[in-house]
Amino acid sequence: MQVPFKFGLEYATPPEKIDLAQTLVKEILESLEGVRFDRVHFINLADSSLEFEVVYWVLSSEYNVYADIHHTLLKRMIGAFAANGLAFAFPTRTIVVAKEP
């Protein structure tokens, strides 16, 4: 089964860390059994994040196999990103208030 999902990094992420995030996700997926890596790309400058799209294949049609693999992937991403100074984005909004003259 094909598994597409997205995640976002903070806008303060330096450009060289964008490539690192891509590499880390690829390495994690390639280390998992029962998975075929397809792609990971920086795809969008979203409202509150630098958005990435990940696609991989689970080589089983059983939902529990997929759920276990995805659980492991996300958990390893959290650890690898934290260890490498990468922060996941969450919705934020900056409001600029103009002073009246």
Which pLDDT tens digit goes with each residue over 24-39? 999 999 999 999 999 9
Question: pLDDT (tens digit, 9 = 90+) per residue, 56-92?
Answer: 999 999 999 999 999 999 999 999 999 999 999 988 7
By residue count, the chain amounts to 101
Amino acid identity, residue 63? Y
Please determine, for residue 93, whether its predicted confidence score (pLDDT) is greater than 90.
Answer: no
Residue 83 backbone phi and psi in degrees, to 5: -65, -20
Amino acid identity, residue 20? L
Whether this prediction's pTM lies above 0.75 is answered by: yes
**How far is it, in rounded angstroms, from Cα 73 to Cα 30?**
10
Share the mean pLDDT of the chain.
96
Beta bridge partners of residue 7, listed in sequence order: 52
| Residue 101 pLDDT | 77
